[in-house]
Amino acid sequence: MAEGLKLTCLECGAVNRVPEAKLGAGPKCGTCGARLNDGKVRALDPAILQKATKTDDIPLLVDFWAPWCGPCRMMAPEFQKAAQALAPRARLAKIDTQDHPQAGQRHDIRGIPALILFRRGRTLGHLAGARPADEIEAFVRKSAGVSG
């Protein structure tokens, strides 16, 4: 069995194993070739969200948002800054609760933006409301034990 960290491709949903030492070297999905951990925020669909939250060995912070939400749109650049700062030790993604209301219901989202941090099938923490990048980073570092 291959050693390494399990990462779900946020584009195609394939589970990949990446040696921890190669995490920062721009690993790509063995199925579709998409970058697995490049510091960019990815949009998820419910199936990939469910698979990644259960499977991934590194923290995944998901922003539950909607395009009509002003605070969500204002936070988007800050969320992207946090994604770049936390890579390769954590990944950030988002799911549109307008297009995928069942995802919001499944995770008991009552207001947006709402951030939930996952790893290996566990919820590590919740953060409500629009936040600046430094608060998002601090939340992930503290809740998941991600080093600097």
Residue 35 carries which DSSP code? B
Q: Kindly name the residue from 12, 29, 32, 72 that is annotated as catalytic.
A: 72
Compute, in degrees rounded to 10, the torsion defined by CA atoms 138, 143, 144, 148. 20
Cα separation, 79 vs 41, in Å, equals: 8
User: Could you confirm whether 12 is annotated as catalytic?
Assistant: no
Compute, in degrees rounded to 10, the torsion defined by CA atoms 89, 92, 93, 97. 140
Exposed, middle or buried, 105 (CB in 10 Å: 0-12/13-18/19+)?
Answer: exposed
Q: Kindly name the residue from 12, 29, 32, 69 that is annotated as catalytic.
A: 69
User: Could you confirm whether 72 is annotated as catalytic?
Assistant: yes
User: Which residues are marked as active site?
Assistant: 69, 72
